[in-house]
A and B are shown apart, each in its own frame.
Chain A
Amino acid sequence: MKFTKTLLATTALTVAAGAVAAQEMTIVSWGGAYSKSQLKAYHEPYSAKTGVTIINDDSSAEAVAKLRAMNEAGNVTWDVVDVVAADAMRLCDEGLAMEIDADTQLAPAPDGTPASEDFGDLLVSDCFIPQIVYSTTFGYRTDLVGDTPPTSVCAVFDLENYPGKRSLEKRPINNMEWALLCDGVAKEDVYDVLETPEGQDRALAKLDTIKDSVVWWSAGADTPQLLADGEVIMGSTYNGRLFSVIEEQKQPVAMLWDAQVFDLDGWIIPAGLSEERKQRALDYIYFATDTQRLADQAKYISYGPARASSAPLVGKHEELGIDMAPHMPTDPNNAKNTFLYNYEFWADYRDDIDAKFQAWLAK
């Protein structure tokens, strides 16, 4: 009932305010193909339904810093912000994002399952509504790796069979886990080992064996460019970027799904919005995170919808007409060996390990 009231109130507000001035909201996201998928799957239908004009701001990369500054200046210009789960947790802890109750403020699944069950474990923070599951994984040049294409993530550390440059992200997260895994640590023990200074040194020692052959990247677009140039023979990046390189750009690249690391990306609403803007943001979130909308986004980009009820609805790519399900990181064939980004571990150890990693990089 509460939800119906909210919706009614929002609609009333929308109508009332719409008579006065054109409605506008600023939605912050990552830019590129990702923003485009949101534009097609969420913004356009929402604007058509409500008449709200949506302005895109591609500033998610510096969302935490900017929200802090905006809050301090008392001038929050953003209405809805797309961030990764780790950033959402930080914003929530600092009180910069508002808490959202999944069951009353989000749409239930078509069969009536409440949203909190539909999202399940992926609701990792009270302020965060997950949207997609993406993964950081490897792509390799099919023409540059010889006759036996790599099947395991340890090919990255195998300079003997796969000589050449590889690109890795310039941060310890993921790289340390992969290094330990390929140094013979069992998957379930990785974080126990990584907690100890010896374990951290062990991971860095493993990375040291390939340090001379590594090109470090910091933007998601780097590895696709390096692979297309043939400058690296394999490299890690977000799986959607690799999909675009392989299927849209037709480059001789293939996916190495082994030991992919899942992470979540989703929405937050900044704290401190005026009542009118807050209601509009909530109304947008309600619309954009329902089962059908999340499944629609997968028509434009190969990231898995965060709701369990969306998975069966994933269809074909809008332009290429290929089935998207096999390209989802969550597809059973791709998800044989996976990690989930360990939010708790990295929240506790990130500063220490970052410092060690940077020192090692500079050596």
Chain B
Amino acid sequence: MGMIGGAVILMGLATLYITVINNEKLSRWLNLALFVVAGFAFAQVGGIVLGLIYGSLTSWFIFWLYEGRYRRNLLPYLTPGQVLWHYTFRVICGAIFVFLITPILVVLPLSFNAQDFFTFTPEMLRLDPDGYSLKHYQDFLGLRADSNGEWLRSFKNSLVIAPIATIISVSLGTLAAIGLSQSHVPAKRAIMAILISPMIVPLIISATGMFFFYSDLGNFMENTMGMNKNFVGYVKVVLAHAVLGIPFVIITVTATLVGFDRSLTRAAANMGANPVTTFFRVQMPLILPGVISGGLFAFITSFDEVVVVMFIGSASQKTLPWQMFLGLREQISPTILAVATILVALSVALLVTLELLRRRSERLRGMSPS
């Protein structure tokens, strides 16, 4: 109903602009003012912002259709059907994009909520500064009187566990991939399947198995080897996460090894380099993109992981996802949204940095960015 109503109103406006006023600039300003006033009448300040956006969009759309500007940038011989498809395709792509991004974007403003609920309050919609606050960020950082430091502690745990697990899975995964790419290894496919299995087996099943395996291991390390309980706890979680990360490294490194020229290692050997030197000076630099992206996947697997750590870890190894899970179940606190926002910002920064570094190294090596 609303859509039809809106279409009728827009049609009326379009007829008015085109037949009566017949002046593009004037009618576009008029349209803008109209929408802003309507927006203000319905929803004060927030409405003005929406009105501005809608007003400029609708007036642009009306004249875009009427003047036939939609054909301007296209090949002149396209049939109407092809033109229609051209734009439908773009709308579909845009819709998919919105589908992927909106859930993340909704979180951002909510994390500045002045209330302790996941609610857009009337103050927020009015863009009233009182409706916004940084208190959930302060809570995360442990700066508020009633915050308990659990968030920071679990964040630190994540920052300790994820990099170590990544280093282990990158070293083991790369070695495995190189080994498996040799032609003389027997039962390659079977070994590959076993190494990749943590990625395919449902997580909850591996987690249950790991729980019993690592309990015995932990008991042995604590009782027989006399190690510190906390240290053993970290070792267990790091090893488990490394196992989960290895398949990603193997897959990406194997993929880059396909394009690696074996004669290079023979040439290096020919010139007197031992296998270790050959690996670090010749092979490693060439497969580095695969190693890095595998490492990135391994890092994110560990950083995101909640099931295995809940089984294996004890409270002193609580990671950030675990804390978020608890927060969601027990108290639906917007601190989770603040953390989510920080994590989104961090991952965007991480990806941008990596991309810039990649371009830089390619430029230095005299290659054009692909």
* Residues of chain A having any CB pair with chain B under 8 Å: 24, 26, 28, 30-33, 35-36, 39, 55-59, 61, 69-70, 72-75, 77, 219-222, 224-225, 228-229, 248-249, 319
Q: Is B362 an interface residue (CB 8 A)?
A: no
Within 8 Å by CB of A219, from B117, B148, B314, B329, lies B329
Distance of A355 from chain B, by nearest CB (Å): 24
Distance of A235 from chain B, by nearest CB (Å): 14
Summarize B's interface: helix, strand, loop or mixed: helix
B117–A56 touching, CB < 8 Å: no
Q: Is B24 an interface residue (CB 8 A)?
A: no
22 residue pairs from A and B, CB less than 8 Å apart: A26-B316, A32-B331, A33-B331, A36-B148, A39-B148, A56-B150, A56-B315, A57-B315, A61-B329, A61-B330, A69-B211, A219-B328, A219-B329, A219-B332, A220-B330, A221-B330, A221-B332, A225-B117, A225-B118, A228-B115, A248-B116, A249-B115
Kindly report which residue of chain A lies nearest to residue B116, judged by CB atoms.
Answer: A249
A26–B218 touching, CB < 8 Å: no
Per-residue contact bits, chain B 104-126, to A (CB 8 Å; 1 contact, 0 not): 00000000000111110000000
Which residues of the partner chain B approach A36 to less than 8 Å between Cβ atoms?
A: 146, 148
Q: Complex Cα distance A330/B333, Å?
A: 28
A221–B331 touching, CB < 8 Å: yes
Q: Given known contacts A31-B327, A35-B148, A59-B315, what 11 new A-B pairs fall within 8 Å (CB)? A: A26-B316, A31-B330, A31-B331, A39-B148, A57-B318, A58-B326, A58-B330, A61-B330, A221-B332, A225-B332, A248-B116
A228–B331 touching, CB < 8 Å: no
A55–B316 touching, CB < 8 Å: yes
Within 8 Å by CB of B119, from A73, A75, A228, lies A228
Which residues of the partner chain B approach A39 to less than 8 Å between Cβ atoms?
A: 148
Which residues of the partner chain B approach A70 to less than 8 Å between Cβ atoms?
A: 215
A55–B146 touching, CB < 8 Å: no
Q: Is B355 an interface residue (CB 8 A)?
A: no
Q: Complex Cα distance A180/B56, Å?
A: 59
B148–A229 touching, CB < 8 Å: no
Which residues of the partner chain B approach A30 to less than 8 Å between Cβ atoms?
A: 330
A26–B219 touching, CB < 8 Å: no
Which residues of the partner chain A approach B326 to less than 8 Å between Cβ atoms?
A: 31, 58
A26–B330 touching, CB < 8 Å: no
* Residues of chain B having any CB pair with chain A under 8 Å: 115-119, 146, 148, 150, 211-212, 215-216, 218-219, 229, 314-316, 318, 326-333
Query: Top 5 nearest A-B pairs by Cβ distance?
Result: A57-B315, A73-B215, A32-B331, A31-B330, A228-B117
Distance of B123 from chain A, by nearest CB (Å): 13
A73–B211 touching, CB < 8 Å: yes
Which residues of the partner chain B approach A220 to less than 8 Å between Cβ atoms?
A: 330
Which residues of the partner chain A approach B333 to less than 8 Å between Cβ atoms?
A: 32
A77–B314 touching, CB < 8 Å: yes
Which residues of the partner chain A approach B115 to less than 8 Å between Cβ atoms?
A: 228, 249
Assuming A77-B314, A229-B117, is B216 touching A224 (CB within 8 A)? Answer: no
Q: Complex Cα distance A56/B326, Å?
A: 12
Which one of A57, A59, A75, A224 has the greatest number of beta carbons of chain B within 10 Å? A75
B117–A32 touching, CB < 8 Å: no
Distance of A44 from chain B, by nearest CB (Å): 11
Kindly report which residue of chain B lies nearest to residue A69, judged by CB atoms.
Answer: B211
Distance of A303 from chain B, by nearest CB (Å): 15
B332–A224 touching, CB < 8 Å: yes
Distance of A124 from chain B, by nearest CB (Å): 25
Which residues of the partner chain B approach A319 to less than 8 Å between Cβ atoms?
A: 146
Which residues of the partner chain B approach A69 to less than 8 Å between Cβ atoms?
A: 211
Which one of B148, B211, B326, B330 has the greatest number of beta carbons of chain A within 10 Å? B330
Which residues of the partner chain B approach A35 to less than 8 Å between Cβ atoms?
A: 148
Distance of B323 from chain A, by nearest CB (Å): 9
Within 8 Å by CB of A75, from B116, B117, B215, B331, lies B215
A222–B332 touching, CB < 8 Å: yes
Q: Complex Cα distance A72/B208, Å?
A: 12
Distance of A59 from chain B, by nearest CB (Å): 8
Which residues of the partner chain B approach A249 to less than 8 Å between Cβ atoms?
A: 115-117
Which residues of the partner chain B approach A248 to less than 8 Å between Cβ atoms?
A: 116
Kindly report which residue of chain A lies nearest to residue B208, judged by CB atoms.
Answer: A69
B211–A26 touching, CB < 8 Å: no
Distance of A9 from chain B, by nearest CB (Å): 23
B119–A229 touching, CB < 8 Å: yes
Q: Complex Cα distance A220/B116, Å?
A: 15
Q: Complex Cα distance A225/B118, Å?
A: 7
Which residues of the partner chain A approach B116 to less than 8 Å between Cβ atoms?
A: 248-249
B330–A224 touching, CB < 8 Å: no
Q: Complex Cα distance A31/B332, Å?
A: 11
Distance of B278 from chain A, by nearest CB (Å): 45
Q: Complex Cα distance A33/B150, Å?
A: 13
B330–A73 touching, CB < 8 Å: no
Kindly report which residue of chain A lies nearest to residue B115, judged by CB atoms.
Answer: A249
Q: Complex Cα distance A74/B218, Å?
A: 10
Which residues of the partner chain B approach A26 to less than 8 Å between Cβ atoms?
A: 314-316
Which residues of the partner chain B approach A221 to less than 8 Å between Cβ atoms?
A: 329-332
